[in-house]
Chain A
């Protein structure tokens, strides 16, 4: 057996080991361990992807017992790619938010932050690679609890309230998912994804429980990834937590759940069965509503971080709209948008923190006037992120909007609403993002704001430059990535 096949196991165990080790370490060491861990896991995941491109997907037996009895993980092109991408974003977010973390979190609790990030990475990797519904549930729990910790580690009243909200909503989601898994187990007798799918294909009867469990799992995952009517926890959680947490939560945690949903659709229920249920229509409609209402809330918002947070609601709406189209094209557009939104939203959060830093720490629009001149790197990065979100060619957002539009063309009954809402939402995006860009480039006279140290600026600028490059890369080199996504999705079924 090739050695690469062991990598999913090594990634997960490495994350767990470094998380428990970091409790004993000092904060500098915990940080070094964390950075090294993210790099190593990313490289391993990339190697899994390369291996699968050549040899096809594989399953890996966790222990001495083959699959339906023991546990199993599965490696494929899309899994490897997602794992590597998550690691890149996480690394950049951690580096970019490092200084802010220093300021905002009690000094004695820094190493706990890194412990939580290690655990979060572990759960994301496990959610990506799992081939078993119950394993997925266990790691959803780790993901939820550590995300709560990441929100409230900056201890002020707002974040505690946000964490409580997040916890209540997220636990509701977990409960629904668990109920769904229980029902699936009751009617099929399996927890392994491939076995359930086999059983469902040959099953007659039990259509009601199957429908209910699909609905429960979809709604549960939708709550956890903040689809429109369930997004009440989102603005506070993203708006007030420390910036690395906000970047990680918006670009990784919610995306991990969406990836799990896609995996469940393909590998547990079967794309054709899922298309036959009306749940896909519900996801489509909620996605469309999210695209509009998320943007409207963002326009009304007067606080730049909360505005970016509300924009996430709209972007999650795009992803669910793509899933709701019920075609291969729509699905691959959704997966591409997971990447493009992940790369852009964390860039925006990190850039926004630079802008507020030079505006006396205030996040209100009036104070941000001219911030783009005071912190040039943040200004440029924020502009790039905004243009990408609006969908200007050369940037990643354009490609995902193009893919959504292409997927929508020719769908009976869904083409018109999808295209119209896509257009409206793009205009709304432009209103609030370009308003901010114009605002930060409006000249002001007074220049009495403190300057950052050059060393900090260097690291911060490197992170922003890397993010911008990633964005342009996704926008310009979209062809190989979309073909990779299509190949990965084919490998799912």
Chain B
């Protein structure tokens, strides 16, 4: 309390208000405004309806953004600024491209000893006819290990977001399922019966020949995943569940990822410590060749196929 001012005078100063705010007791209406409860109002039904109507109108008007001048001006300015920024950014990038090395020229910096060794010695060192497979699964396998776990992370996030874990009562659930998820389209079923085996076999072919011809785990897995989704659409969850359940999905994903990590850990460990890994590259071009690339392709393919199917199933139904 200030000694220079009387308490009445002091209560009007800013310091007093500040300390009251600090103490949490600031309420300008206490003791300054007389308050009493309003009398209860009585309305007839008609009046009530009218009031509701007025409330509805005012609410609509208040939330109608078109009515708000400032918001409209802000939105307008926002759009213009965003467009200007995009134009500016595009201009910077285009300006920048004109300074980049000309595409296709022999003297580009990217044509250096790195790509030279990939192209010239790739076949000999990795045993893979498909240089790209050799590059992503042998030379730079660590990046691909990370990349396959990106897929895994994405699936886990989708599981968190979409999986419905609340147990509904069994009967209602089944009836609900039958009406919503079980299809009856004969044309689709016949077409799928013809197409799905072909798609599956093609996917397996792409994965198994990943080290010989263009393709590999990622593309083959996507093909198999698409086949599974087509099968699901044609025949429904009940039939798919006979061979593809959540348990199987978990085990396959775990098995392939763990195999990938362990196999690559072994090969990295041997390579870095200059030990013989005992993995031979075999005869280039043969189906069993190129060391670890074939099993890794299979593992990646399984992960990708499971991921695609799991995404679809979760977005559609919230579970397998």
A residues lining the B interface (CB < 8 Å): 1, 5-6, 9-10, 13, 16-17, 19-21, 23-24, 60-65, 68-71, 106, 108-109, 112, 115-116, 119, 122, 126, 132, 134-135, 138-139, 141-142, 145-146, 148-149, 152-153, 160, 179, 183, 185-190, 199, 206, 208-209, 212, 365-366, 369, 435, 438-439, 442
Provide the main secondary structure of the chain A interface.
helix
Q: Name the one of B92, B154, B262, B267 contacting A145, with C-beta atoms under 8 angstroms.
A: B154
**Smallest CB gap from B153: residue in A:** A145
Check A183 against B100 for contact (C-beta < 8 Å).
Answer: yes
Distance between Cα atoms of A118 and B153 in the complex (Å): 10
B95 at the interface (CB under 8 A from A): yes
Question: Could you list 11 A-B pairs, sorted by A, with CB under 8 Å?
Answer: A62-B142, A63-B142, A65-B125, A69-B117, A70-B271, A115-B156, A122-B149, A135-B142, A142-B146, A153-B160, A209-B96
**Smallest CB gap from A186: residue in B:** B100
Distance between Cα atoms of A212 and B95 in the complex (Å): 10
Check B109 against A69 for contact (C-beta < 8 Å).
Answer: no
**Smallest CB gap from B159: residue in A:** A112
Check B96 against A63 for contact (C-beta < 8 Å).
Answer: no
Decide: A9 near B152, CB < 8 A? Known: A187-B101, A438-B22, A442-B23.
no
Distance between Cα atoms of A199 and B153 in the complex (Å): 35
Distance between Cα atoms of A108 and B164 in the complex (Å): 10
Check B262 against A17 for contact (C-beta < 8 Å).
Answer: yes
B3 at the interface (CB under 8 A from A): no
Q: Name the one of B146, B152, B160, B268 contacting A19, with C-beta atoms under 8 angstroms.
A: B152
Check B250 against A6 for contact (C-beta < 8 Å).
Answer: no
| Min CB–CB distance B201 → chain A (angstroms) | 28
**Smallest CB gap from B99: residue in A:** A208
B208 at the interface (CB under 8 A from A): no
Decide: A62 near B271, CB < 8 A? Known: A69-B118, A185-B110, A208-B99.
yes
B64 at the interface (CB under 8 A from A): no
Mark contacts of B225-262 with chain A using CB atoms, 8 A cut-off: 1 yes-contact digit, 0 otherwise: 00000000000000000000000001101100110011
| Min CB–CB distance A210 → chain B (angstroms) | 9
Decide: A23 near B250, CB < 8 A? Known: A69-B114, A109-B165, A366-B24.
yes
Residues in chain A near residue B262, CB distance under 8 A = 13, 17
- Interface centre among A119, A142, A145, by most chain B C-beta atoms within 10 angstroms, is A145
Distance between Cα atoms of A70 and B265 in the complex (Å): 14
Check B267 against A149 for contact (C-beta < 8 Å).
Answer: no
Check A6 against B273 for contact (C-beta < 8 Å).
Answer: yes
Check B258 against A68 for contact (C-beta < 8 Å).
Answer: no
* Segment of B9-17, B44-52, B133-141, B183-191 in the binding face: B133-141
Q: Name the one of B139, B153, B264, B272 contacting A116, with C-beta atoms under 8 angstroms.
A: B153
Q: Name the one of B101, B163, B268 contacting A62, with C-beta atoms under 8 angstroms.
A: B268
Residues in chain B near residue A208, CB distance under 8 A = 95-96, 99
Rank and list the top 9 A-B pairs by shortest CB-CB distance, nearest first: A64-B271, A189-B109, A138-B146, A71-B142, A149-B157, A20-B257, A108-B165, A208-B99, A189-B110
Q: Name the one of B108, B118, B138, B163 contacting A63, with C-beta atoms under 8 angstroms.
A: B138
Residues in chain A near residue B101, CB distance under 8 A = 186-187, 206
| Min CB–CB distance B142 → chain A (angstroms) | 4
B residues lining the A interface (CB < 8 Å): 22-24, 92-93, 95-96, 99-101, 108-115, 117-118, 125, 138-143, 145-147, 149-150, 152-154, 156-157, 159-161, 163, 165, 250-251, 253-254, 257-258, 261-262, 264-265, 267-274, 277
| Min CB–CB distance A471 → chain B (angstroms) | 26
**Smallest CB gap from A61: residue in B:** B272
Residues in chain B near residue A186, CB distance under 8 A = 100-101, 108-110
Distance between Cα atoms of A19 and B258 in the complex (Å): 10
| Min CB–CB distance B283 → chain A (angstroms) | 19
Residues in chain A near residue B93, CB distance under 8 A = 179, 212
Residues in chain A near residue B273, CB distance under 8 A = 1, 6
Check B139 against A65 for contact (C-beta < 8 Å).
Answer: yes
Check A148 against B157 for contact (C-beta < 8 Å).
Answer: yes
Distance between Cα atoms of A61 and B165 in the complex (Å): 44
Known: A64-B271, A122-B149. 9 other contacts (CB 8 A): A5-B272, A17-B258, A20-B152, A20-B254, A64-B270, A64-B277, A109-B165, A135-B142, A212-B96
Check B111 against A61 for contact (C-beta < 8 Å).
Answer: no
Distance between Cα atoms of A65 and B268 in the complex (Å): 9
Check B152 against A199 for contact (C-beta < 8 Å).
Answer: no
Check B139 against A70 for contact (C-beta < 8 Å).
Answer: yes
Decide: A135 near B24, CB < 8 A? Known: A17-B258, A70-B139.
no
Q: Name the one of A61, A65, A141, A209 contacting B99, with C-beta atoms under 8 angstroms.
A: A209
Decide: A16 near B149, CB < 8 A? Known: A186-B100, A189-B112.
yes
Check B141 against A63 for contact (C-beta < 8 Å).
Answer: yes
| Min CB–CB distance B159 → chain A (angstroms) | 6
Distance between Cα atoms of A186 and B270 in the complex (Å): 32
Distance between Cα atoms of A440 and B150 in the complex (Å): 43
Check B253 against A23 for contact (C-beta < 8 Å).
Answer: yes
| Min CB–CB distance B241 → chain A (angstroms) | 19
Distance between Cα atoms of A108 and B265 in the complex (Å): 31
| Min CB–CB distance A50 → chain B (angstroms) | 20
Residues in chain B near residue A439, CB distance under 8 A = 24
**Smallest CB gap from A203: residue in B:** B109
Check A149 against B156 for contact (C-beta < 8 Å).
Answer: yes
Check A126 against B114 for contact (C-beta < 8 Å).
Answer: no
**Smallest CB gap from A434: residue in B:** B22
Q: Name the one of B108, B141, B254 contacting A189, with C-beta atoms under 8 angstroms.
A: B108
Distance between Cα atoms of A213 and B277 in the complex (Å): 40
| Min CB–CB distance B7 → chain A (angstroms) | 22
Distance between Cα atoms of A19 and B156 in the complex (Å): 10
Residues in chain A near residue B272, CB distance under 8 A = 1, 5-6, 9, 60-63
Distance between Cα atoms of A358 and B177 in the complex (Å): 44
Residues in chain B near residue A70, CB distance under 8 A = 139-140, 142, 271
Check A138 against B150 for contact (C-beta < 8 Å).
Answer: yes
Residues in chain B near residue A138, CB distance under 8 A = 143, 146-147, 150
Distance between Cα atoms of A328 and B109 in the complex (Å): 32
Decide: A199 near B100, CB < 8 A? Known: A63-B142, A135-B143.
no
**Smallest CB gap from A20: residue in B:** B257
